[in-house]
Amino acid sequence: MNIYVGNVNYQATEEMLRNLFEQYGEVTSVKIITDKVSGRSKGFAFVEMANDDEAKEAIENLNGKEFSSRELTVNEARPKESNGNSSRGKFGGNKFRRS
């Protein structure tokens, strides 16, 4: 199960989050989301756990828990929604091409 972790302290590391979630079961991956330009944390992460029951226990126990002086928001990650834009960007497509 993929888990969304919000309100993560900007100084927190992936290793710190892994240690926190491993209290509840096997963690297969941890990814703190960073700004593409500055490389700084955006304050949220995704943690993937192998077992859904363990993941649900982690969510139940860690949502609202203080971690590194911040109260975490922890819930099951929702699939990324498409905003209707293609990967070609704002000005992509055939609209501006000459024949």
Q: For 67-91, write each residue's pLDDT tens digit.
A: 999 999 999 999 877 665 555 555 5
CA quadruple 25, 27, 28, 33: dihedral sign: positive
Q: What is the band of 51 on the pLDDT scale with cuts at 50, 70, 90?
A: very high
* Domain-located, residue 88: no
Q: What is the band of 98 on the pLDDT scale with cuts at 50, 70, 90?
A: low
* Domain-located, residue 48: yes
Instruction: Quickly count: other Cβ atoms within 10 Å of residue 82's Cβ.
Output: 7
Q: Residue 80: what pLDDT?
A: 78
Q: How far apart are the first and last CA of the chain?
A: 48
If you average pLDDT over every residue of the chain, what do you get? 89
Q: Residue 32: what pLDDT?
A: 98
* Domain-located, residue 84: no
* Domain-located, residue 8: yes
Ramachandran category for residue 24: left, alpha or beta (phi over 0 → left; psi -120 to 50 → alpha): alpha
* Domain-located, residue 91: no
Q: Average of pLDDT values for 30-34?
A: 98
How many residues are there in the chain?
A: 99
Give me the residues paired with residue 27 across strands.
49
DSSP E strand boundaries for the chain: 2-6, 27-34, 41-49, 66-67, 70-71, 73-76
* Domain-located, residue 83: no
Domains identified in the chain, total number: 1
CATH number of domain containing 69: 3.30.70.330
Q: Residue 85: what pLDDT?
A: 56
**For residue 60, what are the domain limits?**
2-76
